[in-house]
Amino acid sequence: MNFEWTDEQVMLRESIGRFAAEHYLPGGRRSLVAQGAAGSRMRWKMMAEFGWLALALPDARGGLGGTSVDVMAFMEVFGRHLMLEPYVSSCIFAPPLLALGSNGTVGPVLEAISTGDVQVSPALAEPGSGFNLNRVATSAARVDGVFRISGTKSYAKNGAEADWFIVPVRTAGAVDERAGISLFLVPHDAPGLRRCGFRSIDHHRHASLQFDAVAVGTDALLGPLDGGLPLLEAAVDRAIAAHLAEAVGSMEMLRDTTLAYLKSRRQFGVTIGSFQALQHRMVDIAIACEEARSMTYHATLQLTADLVGRRRAVSAAKVRIGQNGLFVGRESVQLHGGVGTSDELLVSHHLKRLMMIDLAYGNADYHRGLFADSV
């Protein structure tokens, strides 16, 4: 057992930290988000030049073949600086699924991720699906080797400007069945596909999608026909692990910021950190962070375990990081007092991001259910 970063991981963390300091801090949060999609694409291309977008891509496909621990090392710093780019969707979730696709159609998309030329969005949720990955009503009729997809995906994560969508489609079976789900790669400009963009409170940019007999060929299929769900679940778990590390970074930034505030803010003639009531709340924040870090390590290192081991470790961590993230976010706002509620300070932005990370791929209650069912 060993919980140390390697020298390479330390260097990776330092370089992404320097990048964030250069491109995220100056000008403040509000000017950053005002740059919108254009600013994000610009930073995305710079990230490609550093090679970061290829971190989790397999060696054989022009990637760096980074491990899940490398991803964790990277994502912590990403979260600490509240970086906005759709890294998890495009660079963690998508690549292993794209690697299953036909080389002719899908291969170039995979390679274009690493150069920053394309972004890929998971279009999983539907109206009424909740967080269930197996509840897929969007369906495809197969006529002469062409699949015609119809249905609604209500939440394509980071999909507002994505070039491609990974879409689970029911090609057989009833709406809740685990079997009968196929994964397709669909371009954003496919005829019959309508996209409505929206943003969430954390300034991430998403979309809802309406499929009206959108035609795709078998070359758009990722993984086996009717057998996409286990592959999707594995990709989702890797994405969850990356978001856990992102949350840890965000929580620890809140911890450090709040602690510094307690040591500097003066009321009643003393620093407010001298009050025991606040000290104890601060300690609970620190414990929540340590617990989150420990569980993130554990979940990340169990990604390659057997199915039950992976399910329990990932869902347990998702539950607790969701709960602890919200706790740390809300407490940090409280300990900052009035200024904690302002839009100008980063504190509230971290809270909002942590709310959305709890939501990502199923919130704490949902994953507690998965955990309870996986004995």
Partner 1 sequence: MNLDLDETERAFRDEVRSFFAIRVPGAWRDRVRAGIRLEPTDYITYQKCLAARGWGAPTWPLEFGGTGWTPTQLFIFESEASLADAPGLFHQGLELIGPIIFTYGSAEQKAKYLPRIISADDWWCQGYSEPGAGSDLASLRTRAIRDGDYYVITGQKMWTSYAHVASHMFVLARTSVEKRKQSGISLLLIDMATPGITVRPIDSLDERHHVNEVFLDEVRVPVGNLVGWSYGKALLDRERGVTAANALRLAQQLRAVREAAGRARHGGRPLIEEPAFRAKLAQLEIETLGVEAMVMRVMTQSSSGAESGLSASMIKLRWSELLQRATELWVEVLGYEAAVFRALDHGDVSFPADMPHAMHGALYSRVTSIYGGSNEIQRNIVARRWLGL
Interface with partner 1 in residues 307-326 (CB under 8 A) = 312-313, 316, 319-320
Q: Which one among 47, 282, 303, 355 touches partner 1, defined by CB under 8 A? A: 282
Whichever of 4 and 343 has its CB closer to partner 1, that residue is 4
Q: Which one among 10, 34, 179, 283 touches partner 1, defined by CB under 8 A? A: 283
- Cα–chain center distance at 209: 19
Does 263 engage in binding with partner 1 (CB under 8 A)?
yes
Does 280 engage in binding with partner 1 (CB under 8 A)?
yes
Shortest Cβ distance from residue 116 to partner 1 (Å)? Answer: 28
Q: Which one among 124, 295, 328, 333 touches partner 1, defined by CB under 8 A? A: 295
Question: For residue 27, which phi and psi values (nearest 5 degrees)?
Answer: 85, -15
Whichever of 8 and 22 has its CB closer to partner 1, that residue is 8
CB atoms within 10 A of CB 212: 13
Spatial distance between the Cα atoms of 59 and 70, rounded to a whole number of angstroms: 14
Shortest Cβ distance from residue 157 to partner 1 (Å)? Answer: 25
Shortest Cβ distance from residue 277 to partner 1 (Å)? Answer: 11
How far, in Å, are 67, 153, 186, 209, 294 from residue 194 at the CA level? 36, 10, 12, 6, 42
Does 298 engage in binding with partner 1 (CB under 8 A)?
yes
Spatial distance between the Cα atoms of 66 and 58, rounded to a whole number of angstroms: 8
Question: For residue 14, which phi and psi values (nearest 5 degrees)?
Answer: -65, -40
Q: Torsion over CA of 343, 42, 198 and 364, rounded to 10 degrees?
A: -70
Could you tell me which stretch among 57-65, 104-112, 232-240, 257-265 binds partner 1 (CB under 8 A)? 257-265
Interface with partner 1 in residues 350-369 (CB under 8 A) = 365, 368-369
Q: Which one among 290, 327, 330, 356 touches partner 1, defined by CB under 8 A? A: 290
**Which stretch of DSSP H or E encloses residue 206?**
strand 205-217
Interface with partner 1 in residues 2-21 (CB under 8 A) = 2-6
Among candidates 294, 299, 290, 297, which has minimal Cα distance to 318?
299
Instruction: Yes or no: say if 182 and 244 are a contact pair by the CB < 8 Å rule.
Output: no
Q: Which one among 16, 47, 69, 216 touches partner 1, defined by CB under 8 A? A: 69
Among candidates 165, 179, 174, 173, which has minimal Cα distance to 210?
165
Residue-by-residue DSSP string for 262-307: HHH-EETTEEGGG-HHHHHHHHHHHHHHHHHHHHHHHHHHTTTS-H
- Cα–chain center distance at 293: 17
Reduced to 3 states, what is the DSSP secondary structure of residue 322? helix
Shortest Cβ distance from residue 2 to partner 1 (Å)? Answer: 6
Whichever of 179 and 283 has its CB closer to partner 1, that residue is 283
Mask of contacts with partner 1, 103-142, x by CB under 8 A? ----------------------------------------
Spatial distance between the Cα atoms of 234 and 303, rounded to a whole number of angstroms: 8
Whichever of 126 and 358 has its CB closer to partner 1, that residue is 358
Does 93 engage in binding with partner 1 (CB under 8 A)?
no
Whichever of 174 and 375 has its CB closer to partner 1, that residue is 375
- For the chain, state the CA radius of gyration: 21
Does 262 engage in binding with partner 1 (CB under 8 A)?
yes
Q: Which one among 276, 306, 338, 343 touches partner 1, defined by CB under 8 A? A: 276
Cα four-point dihedral sign 216, 217, 219, 221: positive
Does 286 engage in binding with partner 1 (CB under 8 A)?
yes
Q: Please report, as ranges, the residues that interact with partner 1 according to CB under 8 A.
A: 1-6, 69, 259, 262-263, 273-274, 276, 279-280, 282-284, 286-287, 289-291, 293-295, 297-298, 301-302, 312-313, 316, 319-320, 365, 368-369, 371-372
